[in-house]
Amino acid sequence: MSRFRPDDRDHRELEVLHRLAVELPRSLSVTGVTDTLARELVGAVDRANECTISSWVREHDALDNLSVFERGAGIVEDWRGQRYPLDDWPESRALLEAGNAHREYQADELEWSDEVRAQIREWGWSSWIGLPLVVEGRSVGLVELVDHTSSARWSPRDVAFAQTIASQAAMAVRNAQLYENLRMQVVTDALTGLLNHRAFYERVEAELAGAQRIGADLSVIAIDVDDFKSVNDREGHLAGDRLLRQVAEVLCSLCRETDAAGRVGGDEFLLVMPGLGAGAGAVVERVVEQTFSRAGVRVSAGAACMRQGEPDAASLIDRADAALLAAKAAGKGTFRLSA
């Protein structure tokens, strides 16, 4: 039996539509939009226990989870970013390609593969509605409204309301995606995809302020490709660009989730590593070794750890650069630590 009278539901649905009309255009992040959408759908549809919203990554033929909201738990961060190949979910692919319908699913449907059945059991899904997010006739994502307890068919009212919300939210999701893409172009280096000079310095300033506030460690590593000009002169600029991208890939692979890499000059890179203090020597040594073994190029590197009362990002980076110059003077292909 529903916990709400019909007039209660009418009122709730109108409130949700109003809130979404006001809130969604204000959000400039994709997950800000999808978190709001998932929360409001579960709150408005009495039967729903969960709402999962995914982005359709066409180039990988997959769905990437953006938001998962569960009644009683809120947004489940552990599921954010999970990728699901559409080869395992052909019905979802067909729904996305059609872009103009919805589909109901039951967990006991016979066509599920053993792997998908196991996944559905892990999630606790009994039945759900799938609705594509469509902008100008093109699907950009998928909304799945889930019941954990019943495999009964969904009411026409539940389906119609969810379709209304999906239609209203699709443009907000697309606008947020466009904004994030533009923002990435502003803050990243076009060749390597790493942070550019300005964005990297801003990141170090933010990390420095945070580390000083809580008394944590912070290190910056400066890396320079040895004799890079000779590569351009000998093999051409395309070969030089390819080499820089390879170095960037190695540096990214050495970063933890909390770290950041930037390209701040032609062949100069920087890493900022929150929480790293006494271990900086081992990390910078690994940087030198890995760029040689994996990219086939020698680099010189210097590391600096934040001092008590470090005035700003430029001071910390300058000390890492000075250590880098000392490594160059020592014969290249090596590293030095700032005093």
**Average pLDDT of the segment spanning 233-262:** 91
With beta carbons less than 8 A apart as the criterion, state whether 114 and 26 touch. no
Mean pLDDT, the chain, integer: 88
Rounded to whole angstroms, the Cα distance separating 2 from 270 reads 58
Domain residue extents for the chain: 6-185, 197-337
pTM over 0.75: no
pLDDT band at 1 (very low <50, low <70, confident <90, very high): very low
For residue 12, the model assigns a pLDDT of 75
- Identity of the amino acid at 139: S
- Is 327 a residue whose pLDDT tops 80? yes
Residue with tokens 């892990």: 122
The values of phi and psi at residue 263, to 5°, are -110, 115
Q: How many CA atoms lie within 13 A of 11 on its CB side?
A: 5
Mark out the alpha helices in the chain (DSSP H runs): 6-23, 30-44, 90-98, 114-123, 156-187, 197-214, 228-235, 237-254, 280-295, 313-329
Cα maximum dimension of the chain: 80
Query: For the purposes of burial, counting CB atoms within 10 Å of the CB of 234, is it exposed (0-12), middle (13-18) or buried (19 or more)?
Result: exposed
204, 317 Cβ separation under 8 angstroms: yes
Distances (CA, A) of 16 to 44, 89, 106: 7, 30, 27
Residues recognised as catalytic: 267
**Contact between residue 236 and residue 300 where contact means Cβ atoms under 8 Å apart:** no
What's domain 197-337's architecture? 2-Layer Sandwich (3.30)
User: For residue 324, what pLDDT band results from cuts at 50, 70 and 90?
Assistant: very high
Spatial distance between the Cα atoms of 177 and 33, rounded to a whole number of angstroms: 10
Q: What is the pLDDT of residues 145-190, one digit of tens each?
A: 999 999 999 999 899 888 888 887 777 777 777 776 676 677 788 8
Report the sign of the C-alpha dihedral through residues 204, 178, 54, 254, in that order. negative
Element (H, E) at 57: strand 50-57
Core vs surface per residue 244-262: b (16+ CB within 10 A) or e = bbbbbbbbeebeeeebbbb
What tens digit of pLDDT does each residue of 284-301 get? Answer: 999 999 999 999 999 999
Pairing between β-strand 335-337 and β-strand 299-305 as defined by DSSP bridges:
parallel
DSSP for residue 154: P
pLDDT single digits (tens) 126-150? 999 999 988 888 898 999 999 999 9
In this predicted structure, what is the pLDDT of residue 306?
A: 94
Q: Is 81 exposed, middle or buried (0-12, 13-18, 19+ CB in 10 A)?
A: exposed
Query: For residues 28 and 4, which has the higher predicted lDDT (pLDDT)?
Result: 28
Return the CATH class of domain 6-185.
Answer: alpha beta
Fold match between 6-185 and 197-337?
no
Q: Quick one: tokens of 238?
A: 């395309």
Distance CA 127, CA 102 (A): 14
Report whether 36 contacts 24 (CB < 8 A): yes
Please give the Cα distance from 122 to 139 (Å, whole number): 27
Residue 254, pLDDT > 80, answer yes
Question: What pLDDT is attached to residue 237?
Answer: 87
